[in-house]
Amino acid sequence: MPAVQETVARVRAIDVDQYKYGFVTEIESDRAEKGLSEDTVRFISMKKGEPDWMLDWRLEAYRRWRTMTEPTWARVDYPAIDYDDLYYYSAPKGTKSGPQTLADVDPELLRTYEKLGIPLQEQEILAGVEQRRVAVDAVFDSVSVATTFKEELAKAGVIFCPISEAIREHPELVRKYLGSVVPTSDNFFATLNSAVFSDGSFVYVPKGVRCPMELSTYFRINEKNTGQFERTLIIADEGSYVSYLEGCTAPMRDENQLHAAVVELVALDDAEIKYSTVQNWYPGDSEGRGGIYNFVTKRGDCRGRNSKISWTQVETGSAITWKYPSCILRGDNSRGEFYSIAISNGRQQVDSGTKMIHLGKNTTSKIISKGISAGYSNNTYRGLVSAHRRASNARNFTNCDSLLIGNHCGAHTVPYLEAKTSTAVFEHEATTSKISEDQMFYCQQRGLSEEEAVALIVNGFVKDVLQQLPMEFAVEAQKLISISLEGSVG
Amino acid sequence: MNAEVRPIRTAAESALAELFASAREDAPGGEAARRVRDDAFAAVASRGLPNKRVEDWKYTDLRALMREARPLADAPTAEEMAAARAMLPLAGFDAQRIVFVNGRLAADLSDVAGPEDGVSIAPLAVALASDAASALALKGVPNDNAAVALNTAFVADGLVVAVTDGAKPGRPIHVANVQTGDAHASYGRVLVSVGKEASVTLVESHVGDASPHQTNTLVGLDLADGAEATLVKLQDEGLGSLHLATLGARLGAKARLRTVALAVGGVAARQQIFLDFCGDKATADVTGVTLAGGRRHLDTTLVVDHTTLNCASRELFKSALDGEARSVFQGKIVVRPGAQKTDGKMMAQALLLSETAEANAKPELEIFADDVVCGHGATVGALDEDLLFYLKARGIPQAEAESLLVQAFVGEVLEGIENESLREALTARADRWLAERS
């Protein structure tokens, strides 16, 4: 069981502070005025050198947002957010949006990413023969600081760049697809994002192309009092395939920080998108001070026939998670999948799940959700599976299991099933339990320590989901799981 | 931005307000009762009838389903009594029968022989006279729930059944409700308390003619430590009726509750069940079958609240849906902090017999204790093609094969009724629904 031993070793190696990405990068930055107004929106748009249509789009979203109220239905509890007391734009000084070489990037930034274990030096990776190559878009606060392997990807016809660049360079694609999955009027946080989003990744995979490497974006919040509003748009044209990874961290700060992202995926005929997230925002300290509020709208549209979208997420960070990666199964024979591990410890609150909306014929979806709550945290799975009247032969299987560690935490399941056609077959099962004494006894009797036994059982519990992650991430995720659960045993 | 949106009152809401204003003075129970009724009605009036934006009523939009409020039923006429006599449900079932016609106790039709030892049966008015507040504002039931609040505001007649400690009456008690005559609204309330180590079987039945009546009933069940109760309900109202029903049960230590419900009537019906575990080691087994065709809408909403140690609950709800019928199952198991060793299992299954039928399920778990085993399952689907083929290959026609499979599907619940004649009566009713369907 080398993986388990490694997990346990990792847990041991960590000293007092469990969150190892909590450092702050001292770098001068260029910020927008505090607060949110039309001027802020204009400022962001101007900074990005956007065309008028984009500014109008943002302003419309902003005006709509002013009329909306913050949703309160999720099982999360937090003091009211003062949206006028935030910085909506913060960029490390000296970085200008636009194409640049790595040599232009502030060395301090490069060191930051090195510390986070994110390689931005292409040659370094090329040197390692065995290593798989991953193209990285690094987003620091409100701007993308570097994107690797752009040229090689361009040879294959794949566009992978910051969205601000895409708005300038590929307006026809952006105009066609931006907001087509998550409209500006979708929900409070998505509308806010539409008004003030600053950067994020844009991916376009042309017809029949299998993206030659994994694409990934690494998000880092650094500056104080800022919100990060990233926007990701991935389009897989007919018959293409892309696997995209996303990672995120933030420094440890006493105050809460807002992260409201929107991710839109579009899969056309026979295309497949695999989207994996390892979310490790700063979760706050053990008393619940600080941490990121993670209010994210992620939605994939299986627009074409035989298309497939698969979401895999490992959620270990954030003080509050409010996130429902969903699939609209519009094309006939399309497939949606959702694999999730959500771990909460300390005072974290997680309200996450998915929506599978079956519209086309012969659509199938699968949901595997594993929630682990420890400490004083609350972990909720909230999901919807619906079949439209014309979605004949829709098929869904849902399995959501919760594991409770300690008696001060909560685990909740709120699934909605709506079948409007008799040809739909939906199955849903959910269980909640704690690690049983029998299992612990069995492991310990065979010489495992208590900690090792818990690690083994937890790894077994989440195995179904870990298997779905790309390999590099699976290892990373396994480490994260053990780190998040540290101190919860006994 | 945060202003509460208060829509204009619907016709039903205005009519309810008028009805309440005129009925308020004469409602039984005196001043103490009036205060509770006023509060209850205010709860409904201030928010209006619940609509789909209210989470608990997401799938059952009462504002849309209840377009108008029927007038309160008058005392039944002689003709109505005669009609009711001909319609009495579960006629062959041996029990102490108490009959309500249009919500009023009908002594002529009821079993007047004295109840068995240890059982006392009295009209609701007796309880209202002694302690109106606690008879109206029940414990363990969300009193601001619209159906409950309307019942509290309007209820005028009902029963109070008490079983003394250790008593085990042999005959079940059957509360039969008949709605007949012009379309009206009728409210009923049955309060049952079962003493320590006592046991009772209570049967509740509802039938009615084709007029679009509105019925709202509430059963409050209080089981003392070690008490046992079996509750069987047949909801076979006329196909035009709107039926709102609430069951609130409180279980003492080691108490045992079993319920079986068959719902076949009403154009729209909602059964709410609230189980409150108040003592350790209590168990509850709550089951139900819903059969619906046409454009009917049947809802079962269940909240099981575990606050004590070592309790177990089992919930099994099945629905078979034809035509454009819609079924709703909302079930929630709550395990409060400290309710360790709770064992909860909830299952909801819907069988869609026509392409246009619709099933909605929302099985929830809300768990704050770690040493528990809780699970829920939900399935939605059509009849298994392989099973149908198997039967047809053996010469059984399609319709009959379908009926056989549905019988087996709902049989799992109905077979849980221990009393043989009652089980047969309910099974026969389900069979009749199947026969009418094909």
- B433 vs B207: CA distance, rounded Å: 15
A67 in a domain, yes or no?
A: yes
- A93 vs A91: CA distance, rounded Å: 6
Residue of B nearest to A71 (CA): B2
Which tokens belong to A276? Answer: 């994996």
Residues A226, A141 contacting (CB under 8 angstroms): yes
CA distance B370 to chain A (A): 5
Cβ contact, residue pair B370, A430, below 8 Å: no
Q: What pLDDT, on a 0 to 100 scale, did the predictor assign at position A367?
A: 94
CA A93 remoteness from chain centre: 27
CA distance B263 to chain A (A): 20
How many H-runs (helices) and E-runs (strands) does chain A carry? 12, 24
Residue of A nearest to B364 (CA): A414
Residue of A nearest to B326 (CA): A420
Residues B302, B276 contacting (CB under 8 angstroms): no
How many other β-carbons are positioned within 10 Å of the β-carbon of residue A124?
Answer: 11
CA distance B157 to chain A (A): 38
Residue A397's H or E segment, with its range, is strand A395-405
A246 in a domain, yes or no?
A: yes
Residues A141, A90 contacting (CB under 8 angstroms): yes
For A392, phi and psi rounded to 5 degrees?
-65, 150
- B69 vs B44: CA distance, rounded Å: 14
A140 in a domain, yes or no?
A: yes
Cβ contact, residue pair A67, B1, below 8 Å: yes
- B284 vs B276: CA distance, rounded Å: 10
Residue of A nearest to B339 (CA): A407
Q: Which residues of chain A have pLDDT under 50?
A: 1-4, 7-17, 97-99, 123-131, 490
Cβ contact, residue pair A413, B364, below 8 Å: yes
Which tokens belong to A446? Answer: 């065979």
Q: What is the pLDDT of residues B275-285, one digit of tens each?
A: 999 999 999 99
3-state SS record for A102-166: HHHCCHHHHHHHHHCCCCCCHHHHHHCCCCCCEEEEEEECCEEEEECCHHHHHHHCCEEEEHHHH
The angle that helices B420-437 and B398-414 make with each other, rounded to 10 degrees, is 150
- A205 vs A203: CA distance, rounded Å: 7
Instruction: Residue B360: list chain A partners with CB under 8 A.
Output: 416-419
Total structural domains in chain A?
A: 1
Query: What ipTM was reported for this prediction?
Result: 0.85
The angle that helices A450-466 and A471-484 make with each other, rounded to 10 degrees, is 140
Residue of A nearest to B321 (CA): A422
A80 in a domain, yes or no?
A: yes
pLDDT along chain B (438 residues), means of 10: 61 93 87 91 92 92 92 92 93 91 92 82 88 88 94 93 94 95 95 96 95 96 96 95 96 97 95 96 96 94 94 95 94 92 93 93 90 90 93 94 95 94 95 90
A490 in a domain, yes or no?
A: no
User: How far are the Cα atoms of A94, A342, A418, B81, B408 from residue B395, in angstroms, in the given order?
Assistant: 83, 52, 35, 48, 19
A205 in a domain, yes or no?
A: yes
Tell me which long-range contacts A458-465 makes (C-beta under 8 A, separation of at least 24).
Answer: A458/A372, A458/A403, A458/A482, A458/A485, A459/A3, A459/A4, A459/A7, A461/A370, A461/A372, A461/A401, A461/A403, A462/A341, A462/A370, A462/A372, A464/A339, A464/A368, A464/A370, A465/A312, A465/A314, A465/A339, A465/A340, A465/A341, A465/A368, A465/A370
The residues, any chain, with a CB within 8 Å of residue A88's CB and separated by 6 or more, are A32, A36, A40, A44, A142, A196, A198, A226, A227, A229
A489 in a domain, yes or no?
A: no
Q: What pLDDT, on a 0 to 100 scale, did the predictor assign at position A73?
A: 87
Residue of B nearest to A415 (CA): B362
Q: What pLDDT, on a 0 to 100 scale, did the predictor assign at position A122?
A: 52
Cβ contact, residue pair B363, A424, below 8 Å: no
Residues B127, B32 contacting (CB under 8 angstroms): no
Q: What pLDDT, on a 0 to 100 scale, did the predictor assign at position B348?
A: 94
How many other β-carbons are positioned within 10 Å of the β-carbon of residue B26?
Answer: 7
Residue of A nearest to B332 (CA): A414
Q: Is A375 helix (H, G, I), strand (E, B) or coil?
A: coil
DSSP for residue A1: -
Q: What is the pLDDT of residues A349-394, one digit of tens each?
A: 999 999 999 999 999 999 999 998 888 899 999 999 999 999 999 9
Buried b (16+ CB within 10 A) or exposed e, A160-194: bbbbbbbbbebeebbeebbbebbebebbbbbbbbb
Residue of B366, B383, B406 to mutate for A, most A C-beta atoms under 10 A: B366
The residue written with tokens 């010489």 in the block is A447
Q: What pLDDT, on a 0 to 100 scale, did the predictor assign at position A336?
A: 95
Residue of B364, B371, B378 with shortest CB distance to A414: B364
Residues A173, A235 contacting (CB under 8 angstroms): yes
Cβ contact, residue pair A419, B370, below 8 Å: no
The residues, any chain, with a CB within 8 Å of residue A306's CB and separated by 6 or more, are A269, A270, A331, A332, A333, A334
Comparing C-alpha atoms, which of A422, A412, A404 is closest to residue A379? A412
Which tokens belong to B168? Answer: 């085990």
- A277 vs A296: CA distance, rounded Å: 12
Instruction: Residue A377: list chain B partners with CB under 8 A.
Output: none
Q: What pLDDT, on a 0 to 100 scale, did the predictor assign at position A31?
A: 76
Give me the domain span that covers residue A450: 2-484
Residue of A73, A426, A430 with shortest CB distance to B376: A430
Size of interface A-B (CB pairs under 8 A): 119
**Percentage of chain A with pLDDT > 90?**
38
For A444, phi and psi rounded to 5 degrees?
-65, -35
A427 in a domain, yes or no?
A: yes
Residue of B58, B327, B370 to mutate for A, most A C-beta atoms under 10 A: B370
Instruction: Residue A424: list chain B partners with CB under 8 A.
Output: 352, 380-381
Which tokens belong to A243? Answer: 């696997």
Q: What pLDDT, on a 0 to 100 scale, did the predictor assign at position A104?
A: 63
Which tokens belong to A125? Answer: 């990776």
Cβ contact, residue pair A425, B382, below 8 Å: yes
Residues A418, A384 contacting (CB under 8 angstroms): yes
Cβ contact, residue pair B381, A402, below 8 Å: no
Q: What pLDDT, on a 0 to 100 scale, did the predictor assign at position A53?
A: 92
Buried b (16+ CB within 10 A) or exposed e, A21-53: beeebebebbbbeeebeeebbebbbebbebeee
Q: What pLDDT, on a 0 to 100 scale, did the predictor assign at position A407?
A: 82
Cβ contact, residue pair B1, A417, below 8 Å: no
The residue written with tokens 């293409």 in the block is A240
Q: What pLDDT, on a 0 to 100 scale, did the predictor assign at position A286?
A: 77
Cβ contact, residue pair A428, B357, below 8 Å: no
Scanning A339-378, the segments in alpha helix (DSSP H) are none
Residue of A81, A386, A413, A489 to mutate for B, most B C-beta atoms under 10 A: A413
Comparing C-alpha atoms, which of B317, B319, B326, B322 is closest to residue B358? B326
Residue of B359, B360, B368 with shortest CB distance to A410: B368
- B207 vs B241: CA distance, rounded Å: 10
Cβ contact, residue pair B382, A418, below 8 Å: no
Q: What angle do CA B208, B211, B212 make, to 5 degrees?
A: 100
Q: What pLDDT, on a 0 to 100 scale, did the predictor assign at position A130?
A: 43
CA distance B329 to chain A (A): 10
3-state SS record for chain B: CCCCCCCCCCHHHHHHHHHHHHHCCCCCCHHHHHHHHHHHHHHHHHHCCCCCCCHHHCCCCHHHHCCCCCCECCCCCHHHHHHHHHHCCCCCCCCEEEEEECCEECHHHCCCCCCCCCEEEEEHHHHHHHHHHHHHCCCCCCCCCHHHHHHHHHCCEEEEEEECCCCCCCCCEEEEEEECCCCCEEEEEEEEEECCCCEEEEEEEEEECCCCCEEEEEEEEEECCCCEEEEEEEEECCCCCEEEEEEEEEECCCCEEEEEEEECCCCEEEEEEEEEECCCCCEEEEEEEEEECCCCEEEEEEEEEECCCCCEEEEEEEEEECCCCEEEEEEEEEECCCCCCCEEEEEEEEEECCCCCEEEEEEEEEECCCCCEEEEEEEEECCCHHHHHHHHHCCCCHHHHHHHHHHHHHHHHHCCCCCHHHHHHHHHHHHHHHHHHC
Cβ contact, residue pair A402, B337, below 8 Å: no
Residue of A73, A412, A417 with shortest CB distance to B380: A417
**Ramachandran bin of A283, using left for φ above 0, alpha for ψ from -120 to 50, beta for the remaining angles:** alpha
Comparing C-alpha atoms, which of A297, A231, A305, A276 is closest to residue A468? A276
Residues A188, A260 contacting (CB under 8 angstroms): no
**Ramachandran bin of A412, using left for φ above 0, alpha for ψ from -120 to 50, beta for the remaining angles:** beta
Cβ contact, residue pair A431, B374, below 8 Å: yes
